[in-house]
Structure 1
Amino acid sequence: MNDPTPGDDRFGLRTYLTPEEAKEFHKIFMGSFLGFTGIAVLAHIALWAYKPWL
């Protein structure tokens, strides 16, 4: 594997992503993270309503 050429528009030494690919990955990652966090919050609220632990 060769490092990208200096004229290439890819970020970092080991990323090998173009700015458009990085933005797309970030969008998918953040959507997944927020979805998982939302489900976890709803599960905690439901469990708290069923059986408070404090």
Structure 2
Amino acid sequence: MADRYNLTGLSDEEAKEFHSIFMPSMYGWFTLVVMAHVLTHLRFPWI
């Protein structure tokens, strides 16, 4: 079976590999952002 390509130009296997790296990185970034906002709010409460 030939590799299928989608709109990004990645094959299904390449897309799965990219996804497996991207998702943990995104969760880590969101965790860092939430922690920064919580710490900022504790230091300089605005509400």
Given the two structures, how large is their TM-score scaled by the length of structure 1?
A: 0.68
Asked if structure 2 preserves the Cα contact closer than 8 Å seen for 1:10 and 1:16, the reply is: no
Structure-2-length-normalised TM-score: 0.75
The count of residues paired between Structure 1 and Structure 2 equals 47
Q: Segments of 4+ in structure 1 off by > 6 A?
A: none
Task: Output the aligned Cα RMSD.
Answer: 1.6
| Alignment gaps of 5+ in structure 2 | none
Query: How many angstroms does 1:25 deviate by?
Result: 0.2
Identity of aligned residues (%): 45
Q: Unaligned 5+ residue runs, structure 1?
A: 1-6
